[in-house]
Amino acid sequence: MKRILKIKLKKGILAKPISPGRELHPGVEAMGAELREKIKERFGRSFHIREVDTGSCGACESEIISATNPIYDIQRFGIDFVASPRHADALLVTGPVSRNMAVALRKTYEAMPEPKFVITLGDCAKDGGAFKDSYYTAGGVKEILPVDYHIPGCPPSPETIIKALLAFLSK
Amino acid sequence: MERKNEIYYEVEPGRFTEECIGLHKRLESPVMAYFAEDLRKESGKFRIYCVFLDRKAGRWEVASTNIPGNDPKMPSLAQEMYSASLFEREMAEMFGICFEGSPDSRRLALHDEAWPEGLYPLRKDFAPPAPAQKAPGERSEYRFKKVEGEGIFEVPVGPVHAGIIGPGHFRFSAAGEPIINLETRLGFTHRGVEKMLEGMDAREAVSLTEKIAGDSAFAYSSAFCAAIGKICGARVPGRAKVVRAIFLELERMYNHANDIGGIATDVGFSFPNALASVVKEGLLALNGKLTGSRYLKGVNRIGGVAADIPEEGRVLLLESIGLAQKDISEIREILHSSISFMDRVDNTGILKKKTAADLGITGLAARASGMRSDLRAVFDGDIYNACGFRPAMEEDGDVLARLDVRFSEFDASCALIRKFAAMLGSLSEPPGTETEWEPKEGFSIGCVEAWRGPLLFWIRTRRDGRIERCKIVDPSFRNWQGLCFAVLGNIIPDFPLCNKSFDLSYPGNDL
C-alpha cells in the first residue's frame, strides 16, 4: 500500500507532460473542456457508449481503450463505455461486419433505448475498407444500421477519437 | 526436395498418415500447419501439406501428398495427433475435403447460420455471392457439446462481450461453481483473408497483412515479407534486419504491458493497470515517433524496412524503454507483494505440460507450461543468437506462470533492444534500408515469433509475383483450446482472469 501511494504521489496527475514520448497534445485539454460542455448541454451530464466489434483487427479497440488510459482519460469529459446496450446513448461500431456478426450487431442495436445513435470507427466500418471485396463481409455498417457519424483512421488515434466525438456532439 | 530451412517429403496418399506421425514423434513437434491447395486446374488434384518444426536443426519438415480432385477424402490424422484436428475442420469447410474418422467435423469460421453447406471459399472455382447478399442454400444450426446431469447448467456468453474486445461465444457447463466444460465458438471476425490475398500483388499485399490482427501488425507483415523474400531471393540488409527485430520487440513489449495490466484489472486491482496502461501508451507513442504509426503499420517492405532508426531515434528509444522497464518492475513488485492478488493467480487456470503438448499449444502459453519453444532461439543465423538469447520459461502453467513469463520477456526485450541499438552504430547502410528484388514463381514458409507465439505464412507465388495461395497460422489458432482445458475445475468468475492470461486473438484465429 505504501509503495502504491509513493508511486502515485511521485507520478501525480498523468494527463500532462511527464516524459519523452508521453506528452499529451496541448489541444486535448481544450477539446475536452468543450466536449464536457456539449455533453452537459445535450445529454444532461454524461454520454454513454456501447462498443461492438464486427470483425475489426483489434487496433481500433486498442485505441478506444487508450482513450480511457490515465493520459487521455476521456471519462473526465463525461464519456463512458458501458457493458450493456441498454445503458447506452450511442453504439460505436468497428470492423467491416463479418457475415457472422450481422445478427449480433442488429440485436445489440435493437436492445438500445431511444434516442440512439450509431457511430462507426475505423476505415473498415465505413465501407468494408481493405475487406470491402471479401466474400464474407457486408461492406460496412451502413448496410445494416443507420449510421449517424463516422470516425476515419486505421486506427484513429485517441486524440482523433476525442476530436471526432466533439465534432459529432456539435452537429 | 530441400531448400533453405525447409524440407519437403512427397509421399503417396496411402503413406501420408504414417509419414506425418513419424515426423510428429521423431521431431517432438505438434502439427505447426496443415493445409490444402487447390491444384485441380493443373493436375486434377488437391495437394495437402503438413508442417512440423525441427527445433534442434532449425528447420521445417513438410510432408505433402495429392488427393483426387473429384472426390477429395483422406483418413483423419486427428485420431493420432490431436493438434491436427482444427486444421482438418478448416480444410473441410474451406475446400470440401472429407476427413474420414475425424473426431469433430463441425465448421469453424463459416457459421452454419450464415453460410450454406457445400460452398467452399478456398476452391479456385468458388464464385462469391455479392456482399451483404444472402448466400443461397440451406442453413443449419451449430451443434454444441451437451453436458447433462443433475444440477448441471449452461452459461452462454457472447459473441458481444461486456468489454471493449473482439467477439466470440463461450459456453460454460457448470455444476455448482466449478466449470465442467467450456466450449468456445469463434469465427465471428472471419473476413476471408486467405482468399483475399489470392491474386494480389505481393508488394501491395503487405498492407493487407497489417490489417489482419492489429496487435500483431508488425509480426504479420514481417512473416509475410520473410516468405516472399525467401521465394524471390530478396536480400534484407543487415541494418534492416536489426531495425525489424527492434520493432518486433517493441510490439511484444506494448502487448505484454497491456496484459500485465489486464490481469491486475481482472482481479479488481486497478492501480497496476493504470500504471501499465501508461507504459503501453508510452510505447505506442514511441512507435508513432519512430515510424509515424503507433501500430507499426506501413514500415515493412519485402526487401527491408521503410523506417530507419536514426541517431536521435536511438536516443529516444533507449530513454523510453528505460522508463518502461522501471515502471514494469514496479508493477511486478506491487503484484508479487499483494497477498490477495497472488491468492487469485497462483494455481488458477493450470494448463498441464502434457495437455499443452497434446493440443499443440505454442508460444507464450507453452513456455508458461514448461516447454522451451521460441522461434527466436530456433533459427540459426538470426541476430537473436548473436545476443545470447534464451527463451523465458515457467513450470506451473497457471495464471501466475503466464504473468511471470510476460515479466521475464518484457525485461528480455529491453535487454535485446539495448543490444540491437548498439549494433545499429556499426551498421551504416544507407537509410530507407531496402533492396530491390524481382518477382519469382515458387513457394516458401515465412515465420516470426510474434508476442503470442509462432506466426507462420506459407505462400505460393505465380511468375508475375502475384499470390496463388497463402496459408496463415496464428499462434491463437491452437492456443484457444489450451484455454478451454485450463479453465476446467475453476470457477466461472475466474474465467476472465484465465482468459486474459492467455489473451488470444479473435481476428488472428478467425482470419
pLDDT of B127 over the 90 cut: no
For chain B positions 406-445, those within 8 Å of chain A (CB to CB) are none
Q: Tell me, what's the pLDDT at B437?
A: 80
- Give percent helix, percent strand, percent coil of chain A, each to the nearest 5: 45, 15, 40
Q: How far is CA B436 from CA A42, B222, B229, B233, B439, in A?
A: 57, 17, 11, 10, 10
Give B-chain residues touching A159 at CB under 8 angstroms: none
Interface test with A, best of B211, B251, B452 (most A CBs within 10 A): B211
Domain positions in chain B? 1-127, 214-472
How many contacts does A have with B, using Cβ atoms within 8 A?
Answer: 182
**Could B277 and A69 be called an inter-chain contact, meaning their C-beta atoms sit closer than 8 Å?**
yes
> Is residue A43 assigned to a domain?
yes
Cα torsion B455, B460, B466, B470: sign = negative
Mean pLDDT of B109-113: 88
**Could A138 and B131 be called an inter-chain contact, meaning their C-beta atoms sit closer than 8 Å?**
yes
Give A-chain residues touching B251 at CB under 8 angstroms: none
- pLDDT-based confidence at residue A70 (cuts at 50, 70, 90): confident
> Is residue A11 assigned to a domain?
no
Q: Tell me, what's the pLDDT at B408?
A: 94
What is the tally of structural domains in chain A? 1
pLDDT of A14 over the 90 cut: no
pLDDT of B68 over the 60 cut: yes
pLDDT of B71 over the 60 cut: yes
Of the candidates A4, A55, A108, the beta carbon closest to that of B189 is on A55
Mean pLDDT of A106-117: 92
Q: Specify whether the CB–CB gap between B317 and B286 falls below 8 A.
A: yes
Closest residue in B to A25 (Cα) is B285
Q: Flag whether residue B3 sits within 8 Å of chain A, measured between CB atoms.
A: no
**Could B190 and A136 be called an inter-chain contact, meaning their C-beta atoms sit closer than 8 Å?**
yes
> Is residue A20 assigned to a domain?
no
Of the candidates B195, B284, B510, the beta carbon closest to that of A135 is on B195
What CATH class is the domain B214-472?
mainly alpha
**Could B213 and A57 be called an inter-chain contact, meaning their C-beta atoms sit closer than 8 Å?**
yes
Q: How far is CA B380 from CA A120, B56, B149, B195, B237, in A?
A: 46, 10, 54, 32, 17
Min Cα distance A155 → chain B (Å) is: 9
> Is residue A74 assigned to a domain?
yes
For chain B positions 94-123, those within 8 Å of chain A (CB to CB) are 109-111, 113-115, 121
Look at A21-30, A41-50, B28-37 and tell me which has the smallest mean pLDDT.
A21-30
All 3 cell numbers of residue A23? 506528452
Decide: residue B54, CB within 10 A, 0-12 exposed, 13-18 middle, 19+ buried.
middle
Q: Tell me, what's the pLDDT at A119?
A: 95
Closest residue in B to A144 (Cα) is B132
pLDDT of A130 over the 70 cut: yes
All 3 cell numbers of residue B298? 506501413
- pLDDT-based confidence at residue B138 (cuts at 50, 70, 90): low
Mean pLDDT of B174-181: 90
> Is residue A107 assigned to a domain?
yes
Nearest-10 Cα torsion for B153, B157, B162, B168: 160
pLDDT of B209 over the 60 cut: yes
Look at A11-25, A62-76, B348-362 and tell me which has the smallest mean pLDDT.
A11-25
Min Cα distance A114 → chain B (Å) is: 20
Q: Tell me, what's the pLDDT at B116?
A: 84
- pLDDT-based confidence at residue A17 (cuts at 50, 70, 90): very low
Block residue for cell numbers 501420408:
B16
Of the candidates B121, B196, B215, the beta carbon closest to that of A58 is on B215
- pLDDT-based confidence at residue B3 (cuts at 50, 70, 90): low
pLDDT of B90 over the 90 cut: yes
pLDDT of A18 over the 60 cut: no
- Domain hosting A83: range is 25-170
Of 3.30.460.80, 3.40.50.2300, 2.40.50.140, 3.40.50.10490, which CATH number belongs to B1-127? 3.30.460.80
Q: Tell me, what's the pLDDT at A73?
A: 87
Of the candidates B131, B288, B505, the beta carbon closest to that of A139 is on B131
ipTM: 0.91
For chain B positions 241-300, those within 8 Å of chain A (CB to CB) are 258, 271, 274-275, 277-278, 280-282, 284-286, 288-289, 294-295, 297
Q: What is the pLDDT of residues B469-507, one digit of tens each?
A: 999 999 999 999 999 999 999 998 899 999 999 999 999
Q: Tell me, what's the pLDDT at B329?
A: 92
Interface test with B, best of A5, A28, A52, A53 (most B CBs within 10 A): A53
pLDDT of A147 over the 50 cut: yes
Give B-chain residues touching A134 at CB under 8 angstroms: 131, 191-193, 195-196
Q: Flag whether residue B188 sits within 8 Å of chain A, measured between CB atoms.
A: yes
**Could B507 and A54 be called an inter-chain contact, meaning their C-beta atoms sit closer than 8 Å?**
no
Sheet containing strand B45-54, edge to edge, reads B2-3, B6-10, B59-68, B45-54, B33-39
pTM for the structure as a whole:
0.93
> Is residue A147 assigned to a domain?
yes
Mean pLDDT of B105-121: 87
Q: What is the pLDDT of residues B195-204, one digit of tens each?
A: 999 999 988 8
Of the candidates B109, B166, B337, the beta carbon closest to that of A61 is on B166
Q: What is the pLDDT of residues B398-426, one digit of tens each?
A: 999 999 999 999 999 999 999 989 888 77
> Is residue A166 assigned to a domain?
yes
What are the φ and ψ backbone dihedral angles of B48, each rounded to 5 degrees?
Answer: -115, 135
Of the candidates A69, A81, A99, the beta carbon closest to that of B164 is on A81
pLDDT of A10 over the 80 cut: no
Q: Tell me, what's the pLDDT at B213?
A: 93
pLDDT of B460 over the 50 cut: yes
pLDDT of B427 over the 90 cut: no
Min Cα distance A24 → chain B (Å) is: 10
- Compute the distance between CA of residue A124 and CA of residue A156 in angstroms, rounded to an integer: 12
Interface test with B, best of A136, A141, A159, A161 (most B CBs within 10 A): A136
- Residue A161, domain CATH: 3.40.50.12280
> Is residue A3 assigned to a domain?
no
**Could A62 and B214 be called an inter-chain contact, meaning their C-beta atoms sit closer than 8 Å?**
yes
Q: What is the pLDDT of residues B254-280, one digit of tens each?
A: 999 999 999 999 999 988 999 999 999
